[in-house]
Amino acid sequence: MFSTIMVPVDLAHAATVEKAINIAAGIGKSNHADIYLVGVTATPPGSVAHDPEEYEQKLNQYAADQSAKLGCTLKAKAVLCNDPAAELDQALEQVGKEIGVDLVVMASHVPGFMDHLFHSRAGHLATHSDISVFIVR
């Protein structure tokens, strides 16, 4: 049913994504699908890494750790943006097209006041692409 699954990952908040990764792994195993952990970063130093190369190394290590824990192969895909906060939606949509994603499994957050002013990342993907989106709360 699904051949390529993408899980957006924020390494600064990795614990909040584990449930989504577990679900993606279950779906991926039953469908023999490729699973990508996708992280978006910028060139300037951030809270997770000093540069994009270090970020990619940390994302690769995170994917390897999760792979060992879950008993399946998770691939890492680091994406470089000028301003991840502003370009995240488009970056996720673009990388989804590049790697042929047919399912995105995304962690959500508890809705709050700001959600009435700004759209959700999952909502953008669901309405602006033909990729199926599974939101995990």
- Specify the CATH number for the domain of residue 101: 3.40.50.620
Residue 129: domain span: 4-136
Taking residues 78-96, what's their average pLDDT? 90
Question: Which pLDDT score, from 0 to 100, does residue 113 have?
Answer: 39
> What is the pLDDT confidence band of residue 86, given thresholds at 50, 70 and 90?
confident
Question: Which pLDDT score, from 0 to 100, does residue 137 have?
Answer: 82
CA dihedral sign, ordered 56, 135, 89, 96: positive
Taking residues 127-135, what's their average pLDDT? 80
> What is the pLDDT confidence band of residue 84, given thresholds at 50, 70 and 90?
confident
Question: Which pLDDT score, from 0 to 100, does residue 124 have?
Answer: 62
The pair phi, psi for residue 38, each rounded to 5°, is -110, 125
Question: Which pLDDT score, from 0 to 100, does residue 89 have?
Answer: 85
Across the chain, mean pLDDT equals 87
Question: Which pLDDT score, from 0 to 100, does residue 117 have?
Answer: 35
Q: Which residue has the higher pLDDT, 109 or 20?
A: 20
Note the pLDDT tens digit of each residue in 14-73: 998 999 999 999 999 999 999 999 999 998 988 899 999 999 999 999 999 999 999 999
The total number of structural domains in the chain stands at 1
Residues 6+ apart with CB under 8 A from 119: none
Q: What is the 3-state secondary structure (H, E, C) of the chain?
A: CCCEEEEECCHHHHHHHHHHHHHHHHHHHHHCCEEEEEEEECCCCCCCCCCHHHHHHHHHHHHHHHHHHHCCCEEEEEEECCCHHHHHHHHHHHHHHHCCCCEEEEECCCCCHHHHCCCCHHHHHHHHCCCEEEEEC
C-beta separation of 75 from 40 below 8 A: no
Question: Which pLDDT score, from 0 to 100, does residue 115 have?
Answer: 43
What pTM does this model have?
0.88
